[in-house]
Structure 1
């Protein structure tokens, strides 16, 4: 079965961890993930500048490692990212900002990527509000 997963919750929201555990279970069960789409506050998961307290698990690093180790398609909504200051190199240059704080394995793109993912998947799920 093919799953498309949208995450709307930021790093501090328990839904971010629930979504990660679900995605891990999907792959462990032999299913596929057609796309992970990060929207609203979930775009903060793509920031390389988020620092977690030492006594907390680094959910941003966990998502990044999961995506990289499984070669998954991870799309960050560009409109939501720009509003929240999450920029890759191209957007930092485009908007004349001094630094980029996002990069591989994340791709900044539009909401149309989520629509495409839902059309390709057998099931679409979203986590967070």
Structure 2
């Protein structure tokens, strides 16, 4: 992984794990879809640029849901478990995609797009899990895994 990509991912983890901001309790509702990257919706855009834009939008959605869940669990042991789970999930997603596609130096020109697509698939699953937790009622929540 290049140094720049490492720094960007580290910053993303810090942003996701940061303190919940006031007013984000409304993040439980499905957010509006992000505006399409120019050319991505019609197939004219570069696949690598479109994959990066999609990953960025998915990460923003995940960050909103995560912060809303942090606000909901603030001050409880569940808050610490959520922070730990999110950090471990991020490490797993990065490691799984690195295993699937190998290091950048061995990946060729399409490596970045494949890596972004892999991470996007992981983020979609994490978003579904965070939404399930956000939409549950006390006593009706999915059991911790």
The structure with the largest alpha-carbon Rg is 2
Q: Specify which structure has the higher proportion of helix.
A: 2
Q: Which has the higher contact order (CA 8 A, sep 6+)?
A: 1
Asked whether the two chains share a fold, i.e. TM above 0.5, the reply is: no
Q: Specify which structure has the higher proportion of strand.
A: 1
Superposition TM-score, scaled by structure 1 size = 0.29
Superposition TM-score, scaled by structure 2 size = 0.26
